[in-house]
Structures are given as C-alpha cells and as structure tokens.
Amino acid sequence: MPDRPDPDAALMLAVQRGDREAFTQLVGRFQQPIYNFILRTLRDETEAEDLTQVTFVQVWKSAARYSVKARFSTWLYTIARNLCLNEIRRRSRHPADPLDATPDDEDRPAPQYEDRSAPPATDELLHGELQTKLAEALADLPEHQRTAILLCQQEELSYEEIAAVLGCSLSATKSLIFRGRETLKLRLKGYLRTGDWI
C-alpha cells in the first residue's frame, strides 16, 4: 500500500465500477503530464496525442486489474511507458524518414552570422535556447535514463515509485538519474552558467 493517501486510487475504484465521471476526472488530472511525458519520449506531437488517448483507453479497459497496492500514478505511468516502448520498438522495426530530416541544399536557409554590433543576447533568449538544447539532449538520452529523469520531475512520484515504473531497484534508479544528469550537464555546459543558487 502507498504510505501517502492516494485520492486517485478512490477515483480509480469508482472507475472499476464503471463510473465515467470519475474517469473523466482522472483524465483531466493526468492528461497534461502524460501527454508531455510521451511527447518528450517520442518527440512527435501527433503520436503523443494518439498514445495519450490509447493510454487512457487502456486504463479504462484494464480497470479491473488495478489494485490499490500501488499508487494510481505509478500504474498510469507504467502503462504510458510500455506504450512508448512498443512505439519505439515498432519504429526500430519499420524505420521511416524522420519528419525533421535535413532539408536539401536549395531549401536550406542562408547561414546566420552573429551580428557583433547587436546588443548581447538577453537572458530570455538564452533561456529559450537552453530549453531547446535541453529538450534535444533529453531526447538523445537512453530511454531508461530519460524516463527516470522525466519521472523525477513528477513530484507526486517517490523514488520507489519511479523504480516501480522502470522495473528496477531503487539504487539502479538513482544511478540512472545521476548518469543521465551528468550527460545533460556535459552537453549543456555552456548554458548552465554558474552563479547564485536558484
């Protein structure tokens, strides 16, 4: 049993009895984090939308198998991750041309050169660039490390629950997060300027 009370478990028990209102509440509560989790994993908005929908359809269909032994969010993220893994496997079996493939030379925009006379880039611009680079670096991480780091950002999940979603031990989970973060820090070295504590 989870050591913290889980209001979502009560909703899920209602869903088990076929309560559509409880189900709507659960979807409303988790659709954004699940969509963003899938989007950061697959980097495709259409597929992320589809898989988010499939995740919740799966929740409804598998409601009878849900046990209050685990937090609802742990169960939900496990379903979402498994669907992502299936999609990643499907992609590796049927590789298609990536949507963001390098354009042909004639389509390529003219190179941009730094205008040294212009004022220095603002923090806002740097921040925007950092976000883009971070999203890219995250996408390039091995799936285990990326999932561990993304789930680590979900405050409602404890390290034990992240380990349950990943299907590995607590120490292995922390090691995955540490190694993933080390890779990110290395790739974003220029952007992670030192300064005051945030």
Partner 1 sequence: MNLKLDETQLRELAWRRPLTEAELARLEEVLQVNPGTREEWLADARLSEALRQLPQQPGPSNLAARVLAEIDRDRPARSPSQKSPWLLARWQRWAGGATALLLLSGGFWWQQHAQRLAAQQTKALTTFARSTEATQLPSAEALENFEVILRIHPEPLADMELLALGEKLAAMPSHP
52 binds partner 1 (CB under 8 A): yes
150 touches 41 (CB < 8 A)? yes
Residue pair 14/22 in contact (Cβ under 8 Å)? The answer is: yes
Neighbours of 49 (CB within 10 A): 13
Quick one: 23 or 75, whose CB is closer to partner 1?
23
Q: Are 142 and 46 in contact (CB under 8 A)?
A: no
Q: Report d(CA 173, CA 147) in Å as an integer.
A: 10
Interaction between residue 78 and partner 1 (CB under 8 A): no
Structure tokens at 162: 């992240």
Taking CB under 8 A as the criterion, the residue among 12, 149, 165, 176 binding partner 1 is 149
**Is 61 an interacting residue with respect to partner 1 (CB under 8 A)?**
yes
Contacts of partner 1 in 88-147 (CB under 8 A) = 127, 130-131, 134-135
Selected from 1, 7, 20, 98, the binder of partner 1 by CB under 8 A is: 20
Q: Which among 16-24, 73-81, 94-102, 116-124 is the span making contact with partner 1, rule CB under 8 A?
A: 16-24
The sign of the dihedral angle between the CA atoms of 79, 81, 83, 85 is negative
Q: Cα dihedral sign for 100, 103, 108, 112? A: positive
Q: Which residues bind partner 1 (CB under 8 A)?
A: 20, 23-24, 27-28, 31-36, 39-40, 45, 49, 52-53, 56-57, 60-61, 127, 130-131, 134-135, 149, 152-153, 155, 159, 174, 177, 181, 184-185, 188-189, 191-195, 197-198
